[in-house]
Structure 1
């Protein structure tokens, strides 16, 4: 499928990438991966298809809240996940 670079990424690609990043994070708790999850969830929430569905909006907003919390733990001076961030 050819995609115009000015268009948004395909919603299915965003969903697959988000799932992959969440799985990757479960194997190795990396702040970069957590940031990737947050970024992808924000992109999903900006999609018209998601915004048109109350159920999808609630689900993705909940996920974004959870992943923002995870990311914030990585950004603390002494990370809850055993990594020190300076």
Structure 2
């Protein structure tokens, strides 16, 4: 069960806190699958807008393919959910 909390320091010196919660699968071997939700918090513009955003993510835990690689690597693709009116 992925449960991450971390801080991102941006190029302009702002800090963005984030949380990722989700579900991980033990397969396929070498590229375990992850799905989850992501929340952000920041007190600096232009990142303050992320305080009201819910994101979803998919990803993989990639194991090294050789002894010379570091790892494992967590690779996430994060997308913002956008509210749209429900059709009548």
TM-score by length of 2: 0.21
TM-score by length of 1: 0.22
| Higher relative helix content | 1
- Of structures 1 and 2, the larger Rg is shown by 2
| Higher relative strand content | 2
